[in-house]
């Protein structure tokens, strides 16, 4: 490691609630979370729903004083905390750093990330951002999409950043998140950092080059789009079956059924490969003019390429239909219209109203300012918006 990291991306788990760690006992004593077994995964206290427990948890954290959870033993906080502390004592962490916690949307994942956000800000004077992912390990088909989306969440935090100043530590979450997190990081040339809570020594796993031949990908892209969410091998030609056999790193097979695997779904969402996988992109005059006027077009193009890739890959990510978050008044689809919640680049957010018919992605409205989006969305949603300007 050379220099200091000003940005740290961490996959976050529930080690904060390990049996030996301070937070678990505090959460139980305060009646905030229940731990009926030795597992670090919490449950709501008796008589509470998960939503009620999270609301009570958030309110308690909002009033967390400096004397609460002093963490006199820094080895008994969590794996994520240990990683940040290890970077600090190794003099590898910038004075004012940015920390991104990628966590699951489970009760434990949300509660751990919220607590870590508070204590990392307090103890390391960092700015902390939480990025949520949905991982359903009980449904094989949904899990495949979830993992492809997770890899894209990692990619969004690493793409266009410098490994010399950005540190990637896939520490927590489901075990598959650490392995696929490493793969996504290596794809962008990022080594991964690991620390154990007990020793707090930084271990660096170098990035093994992950190189995908564009020539190979160009040849196989049509088949990946066709196979997409899955089909029977018998429905494919002999040449197509041979392509699948020759490129097993893109596909997943179960008996005589084949589909694109999580890594393949990740690549289908990569902006660099939009010309291979994405449909036609049409925007409204308002979108075209507004983004051109203030220099946001490059950011928007990257976000829309990712959106197009998700749609072609058949993603079932909740952010593709973010309108449900607004409640029943806007849930009804208008001409197959939906609201996409994209990523933030630290300054700009991304929200877009779009429609997709399998051949073309039509984007009628884009916001990159969250306050403006909140003010305008409901009044814009039901308007008759067109999109007929083609972006290459």
CATH number at residue 380: 3.30.2310
Shared domain for 136 and 20, answered yes or no, is yes
Q: What is the pLDDT of residue 378?
A: 87
Q: What Rg do the C-alpha atoms of the chain give, in angstroms?
A: 22
Q: Does residue 332 surpass a pLDDT of 60?
A: no
81 belongs to a structural domain: yes
Q: How many CA atoms lie within 13 A of 358 on its CB side?
A: 2
Which of 159, 186, 205 terminates a domain? The answer is 205
Q: Does residue 28 surpass a pLDDT of 50?
A: yes
Predicted model pTM: 0.81
In the chain, pLDDT over 70 holds for what percent of residues? 93
CA distances from 258 to 106, 176, 218, 316 (A): 30, 21, 20, 18
219 belongs to a structural domain: yes
Shared domain for 123 and 218, answered yes or no, is no
Q: How many CA atoms lie within 13 A of 127 on its CB side?
A: 6
Shared domain for 187 and 257, answered yes or no, is no
299 belongs to a structural domain: yes
Shared domain for 224 and 185, answered yes or no, is no
More confident residue, 269 or 228: 269
Shared domain for 362 and 382, answered yes or no, is yes
94 belongs to a structural domain: yes
Q: Which of 269-273, 279-283, 385-389 has the lowest mean pLDDT?
A: 385-389
Range of the domain at 232: 214-268
Which of 205, 226, 246 terminates a domain? The answer is 205
User: Per-residue confidence at 159, pLDDT binned at 50, 70, 90?
Assistant: confident
Check: CB of residue 58 under 8 Å from CB of residue 27: no
User: In the 8-state DSSP scheme, what is residue 331?
Assistant: T
Shared domain for 29 and 122, answered yes or no, is yes
154 belongs to a structural domain: yes
Shared domain for 55 and 82, answered yes or no, is yes
The token pair that represents 316 in the structure block: 């079932």
Report the relative pairing of strands 127-133 and 93-104 from DSSP bridges: parallel
297 belongs to a structural domain: yes
More confident residue, 16 or 293: 16
Q: What is the pLDDT of residue 329?
A: 64
Best mean pLDDT range from 35-49, 72-86, 329-343:
35-49
Q: Does residue 303 surpass a pLDDT of 90?
A: no
273 belongs to a structural domain: no
Using CA atoms, how far apart are residues 365 and 37, in angstroms rounded to an integer?
49
**What value does the mean pLDDT of the chain take?**
86
Shared domain for 251 and 371, answered yes or no, is no
Which of 165, 180, 205 terminates a domain? The answer is 205
Question: How large is the average pLDDT for residues 125-145?
Answer: 87
Shared domain for 247 and 190, answered yes or no, is no
274 belongs to a structural domain: no
Using CA atoms, how far apart are residues 130 and 144, in angstroms rounded to an integer?
23
Question: How large is the average pLDDT for residues 269-278?
Answer: 84
Question: How large is the average pLDDT for residues 37-46?
Answer: 91
Q: Give the count of domains, the chain.
A: 3
Using CA atoms, how far apart are residues 202 and 170, in angstroms rounded to an integer?
13
SS3 of 237-248: the string is CHHHHHHHHHCH
Residues whose CB is less than 8 angstroms from the CB of residue 232 and which lie 6 or more positions away in sequence, other chains included: 256, 257, 258
The CATH number of residue 172's host domain is: 3.40.50.10770
Q: What is the pLDDT of residue 345?
A: 72
pLDDT tens digits, residue range 143-156? 888 888 899 889 98
Shared domain for 307 and 226, answered yes or no, is no
């Amino acid at each position: 490691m050379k220099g200091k990291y000003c940005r740290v991306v961490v996959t976050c788990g529930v080690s904060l609630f390990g049996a030996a760690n301070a937070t678990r006992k505090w959460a139980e004593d305060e009646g905030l979370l229940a731990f009926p077994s030795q597992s670090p995964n919490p449950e709501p206290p008796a008589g509470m729903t998960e939503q009620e427990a999270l609301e009570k948890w958030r309110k308690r954290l909002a009033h967390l004083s400096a004397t609460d959870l002093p963490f006199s033993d820094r080895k008994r906080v969590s794996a994520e905390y240990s990683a940040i502390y290890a970077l600090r004592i190794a003099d590898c962490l910038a004075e004012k750093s940015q920390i991104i916690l990628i966590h699951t949307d489970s009760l434990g994942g949300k509660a751990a990330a919220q607590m870590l956000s508070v204590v990392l800000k307090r103890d390391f004077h960092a700015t902390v951002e939480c990025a949520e992912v949905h991982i359903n390990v009980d449904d094989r088909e949904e899990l495949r999409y979830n993992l492809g989306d997770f890899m894209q969440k990692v990619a969004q935090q690493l793409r266009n950043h410098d490994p010399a100043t950005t540190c990637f530590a896939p520490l927590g979450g489901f075990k598959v998140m650490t392995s696929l997190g490493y793969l996504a990081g290596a794809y962008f040339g990022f080594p991964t950092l690991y620390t154990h809570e007990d020793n707090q020594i930084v271990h660096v796993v170098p990035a093994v080059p992950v190189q995908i031949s564009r020539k190979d990908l160009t040849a196989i892209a049509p088949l990946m789009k066709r196979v997409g969410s899955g089909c029977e091998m018998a429905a494919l030609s002999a040449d197509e079956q041979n392509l699948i056999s020759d490129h097993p790193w893109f596909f997943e097979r179960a008996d005589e059924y084949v589909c694109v695997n999580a890594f393949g779904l990740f690549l289908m969402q990569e902006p660099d490969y939009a010309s291979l996988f994405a449909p036609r992109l049409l925007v409204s005059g308002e979108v075209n003019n507004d983004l051109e006027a203030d220099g946001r077009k490059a950011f928007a193009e990257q976000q829309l390429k990712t959106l197009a890739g998700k749609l072609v890959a058949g993603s079932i990510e909740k952010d593709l239909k973010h309108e449900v978050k607004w409640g029943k008044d806007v849930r009804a689809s208008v001409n197959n219209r939906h609201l996409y919640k994209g990523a933030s680049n630290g300054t700009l957010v991304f929200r877009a109203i779009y429609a997709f018919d399998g051949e073309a992605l039509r984007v009628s409205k884009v916001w990159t300012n969250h306050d403006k989006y909140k003010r305008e969305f409901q009044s814009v949603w039901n308007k008759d918006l067109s999109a007929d300007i083609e972006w290459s």
